[in-house]
Amino acid sequence: MAHALYGERMIGAPLNGVRVLDLTRLLPGPVATLHLADLGADVIKIEDHAAGDYARILGDGPDGISVFYRCVNRNKRGLRLDLKQPQGREVLLRLAAGADIVVESFRPGVSERLGIGYRQLAAVNRKIVYCAITGYGQDGPLASAAGHDLNYIGLSGVLEQIGVDGGRPAIPNLQIGDLLGGAMSAVMGMLAALFDAQRSGQGRLVDVAMSEAVLAHNLFPFFHLQSSGELPPRGGDLLSGGDAGYAVYATADGRYMAVAPLEEKFWAVFCATLGRPEWLPLHGARGAQAATLRHELAALFASRDQAYWQELFAGVDCCVTPVLSVNEALAHPHFVARGMTVQADGVRQYAPPVKLSGWVFSVERAAPTPGEHSAEILSAAGFSRAEIDRLQASGVL
């Protein structure tokens, strides 16, 4: 969706001309390369002949292909390649010679054993940016250990702090390790290395550990530990329950309001809107005072339905908003005006979360079927028709 804020002159997608070989599957890697593809990169999704990317069957979707797979693999081309055959390795090396980025999510050492590790690819293309996404990094005691998002946030100290006072750790439904670590940190590393490679002519290995990305962003407990020598109890930190002015309050109809007038100027507007001037001196209250204030706020919000509070605070600039369901968020006038969803490939999809002047996002390609563009990709890379036919006949493609 175009927006007047960004001007009218179109200058094209920022990553136009960048070629990415994507050997990942499921969530972290495919979301990382989704961002690159949406920004104009030519992402070639490379799958094996066995399961391939089994995100295709994780959930329902049109024609048996999941919504999950369709949404995180749009704007990519598909190539099927058996990397366990020597000819498959040779195909990848030839493709890497003309690529800018390679992304994989194997356990450490696997790509080297296949003959497609960073050193092997850098030998044919010194500018190559090689991103390896793992749970624990390329070295260290846990380098070869299996893991999932829950393990990464558990080991990094994040999960221990999530939840309410007196409760058990709560599992977030936003995959923090996979998305903050495996996707966004990978994109940051790849783009930084790509920028340098374009300038210096030398590529890099980008070693992304999802557990480390989570650890490095677990900021407030880290700050608290150094300033006081101990961690706050679960649900007791400033932003997780310690401040009554930063909390979730239930309404009479079983819905919730997100109440966050942290700064004194917002707190003053909040108190005035509620007609409670006696709360003004309680800004930033802690301990028993905070507990009493929280009880009074809970009673007040529980006296009316969410719709009442939503209407009362509409247009009031003090950081109070309703807690919406996903379907309500998608219908919210702000996200609609910002064009945050598109209809493509038979399903509703999110638009990119970054908008740039001179470029309008669009879904140019549906998520590929296995090997859908194999012949097209190899032909553009200089393979003859006879070579492609031989590779297909031998089961490499």
User: Is 48 annotated as catalytic?
Assistant: no
The answer to whether the CB of 281 falls within 8 A of the CB of 232 is: no
Of 46, 135, 36, nearest to 377 (Cα)?
46
User: 192: which residues sit within 8 A by CB, 6+ positions away?
Assistant: none
Rounded to whole angstroms, the Cα distance separating 215 from 209 reads 10
Q: Which of 3, 148, 165, 253 is catalytic?
A: 148
User: Which residues, in sequence order, are bridge partners of residue 133?
Assistant: 208
The answer to whether the CB of 243 falls within 8 A of the CB of 263 is: no
Residue with tokens 């880290």: 222
User: Is 178 annotated as catalytic?
Assistant: yes
Tell me how far apart the terminal alpha carbons of the chain are, to the nearest angstrom. Answer: 38
Angle in degrees, 0-180, between the axes of helices 28-38 and 186-200, rounded to the nearest 10: 50
Rounded to whole angstroms, the Cα distance separating 52 from 249 reads 45
Of 26, 238, 313, 62, nearest to 148 (Cα)?
26
Q: Which of 53, 178, 243, 345 is catalytic?
A: 178
Rounded to whole angstroms, the Cα distance separating 103 from 24 reads 7
User: 391: which residues sit within 8 A by CB, 6+ positions away?
Assistant: 87, 91, 378, 383, 397
Of 281, 238, 279, 228, nearest to 262 (Cα)?
238
Residue numbers annotated as active site: 148, 178
